[in-house]
Amino acid sequence: MFKISLMDHLDLEDAYKIELETNPSPWSKDNFFSSFEVGHKSLVCKCNDVIIGFLIFSLIKKESHLLNIAVQKKWQKKGAGKILMDVFIKQSKAMGAKKAFLEVRSKNRIAINFYNKFNFLKDAVRTNYYTGSNTDDAILMSLDL
């Protein structure tokens, strides 16, 4: 049903539409596109050749950092996010990472519960990390790989 592949530059526009639909404080288009250009690892999840989700991460030495993950609202809770996370974890391990990190909004209980299912643990809180009209603290989470 779902197919995971590396994001291609032709996928950026469709992936960015998902970012705008799902993120209460979306990345700017310039930040989103430059993330791909600077070499962050980017995955897409497709169903019938249509992008329904994406995941972006960076790898620095032995650490993998989940930067962004999103699934179209109509496809949420159907397994696309799970398969993206599974591939992220497997790729991180294969690339030599020993630990994975992420930040998540403290008010985003759905995402926190999602990451808990992958055994991510809460490490710390960054107060007022998310600014703008939708302020929030960030919960830092990590996973031993």
CATH at 135? 3.40.630.30
Tokens at 138, concatenated:
């960030």
Domain range enclosing 18: 2-144
**Digitized pLDDT (tens) for each residue of the chain, 145 residues in all:** 899 999 999 999 999 999 999 988 889 999 999 998 898 999 999 999 999 999 999 999 999 999 999 999 999 999 999 999 999 999 999 999 999 999 999 999 999 999 999 999 999 999 998 887 778 999 999 999 9
Query: Cα 55 vs. chain centroid, distance in angstroms?
Result: 4
**What's CA 116's distance to the chain center, in Å?**
14
What's the confidence (pLDDT) of residue 142? Answer: 98
Cα–Cα separations (whole angstroms), residue 83 to 3, 71, 89, 131, 136: 9, 11, 10, 30, 28
Is the torsion defined by CA of 145, 97, 112, 17 positive or negative?
A: negative
Structural domain tally of the chain? 1
